[in-house]
Structure 1
Amino acid sequence: MKLMTCPINGSRPISEFFYGGELRSMPDPNMVTDEVWADYVFHRNNAPGIKCEWWCHIPSNSWFIAERNTLTDEIIHTYLWGEVV
């Protein structure tokens, strides 16, 4: 069984988690052009490698960041938003 470590609830089965997408800086919606906003909303890099991603522990609704190698599916590190890594 694959496990993921929730920063709040500890090691849990991966079935208790929901993938929320890659962590990316959002452009200011009040200052950005339509083209840049469309690129942010619709386009992803999708290149294999180490990515920072949003994940949610469903039973506790705890959102956190997971650093994951998308090529090997190895979870390297998990932490709460705003924590120093």
Structure 2
Amino acid sequence: MLILTCPYCGVAADETELHPGGEAHLTREGPESGEEAFHDYLFLRQNPKGVHFERWRHSHGCGKWFHAARCTVSLEVFGTYPAQVSEPPEDILSTIDARRPGWRDTA
């Protein structure tokens, strides 16, 4: 079972208390973008085997959105962090580098 710690309220919640929101750190396309860019934003997602950054909502808790870094193969969680950032924090990236050397080469 997947257990993630909410970075806002500190509760370690299992996946039944959370709601997945898909890939994290997407560039939102606005009305001025072309059809192709908007199509890509809506439908094209990474689906890696390995390290992945995702959005989650603590739906049965504080209700806030946050990001999680985890391995899609082993369900190992590298860390969680607030959703108001545009890229993963350095401490999360360092943790992944230590546990999965070379992971950036396959991303």
The answer to whether TM tops 0.5 is yes
Counterparts of residues 1-85 of structure 1 (less than 5 Å): 2-9=2-9, 10-23=11-24, 24-27=26-29, 29-59=30-60, 60-82=62-84, 85=89
> Structure 1 residue runs of 4+, over 3 Å off?
none
Q: Which runs of 5+ in 2 are unaligned?
A: 90-107
Greater share of strand: 1
Q: TM-score, normalised by structure 1?
A: 0.81
Q: TM-score, normalised by structure 2?
A: 0.67
* RMSD between superposed Cα atoms in Å: 1.9
**Which secondary structure does the structure 2 equivalent of 1:51 belong to?**
strand
- The number of residues matched between the two structures is 84
Contact 2:53 2:69 in 1 (8 A): yes
Instruction: Name the % identity.
Output: 31
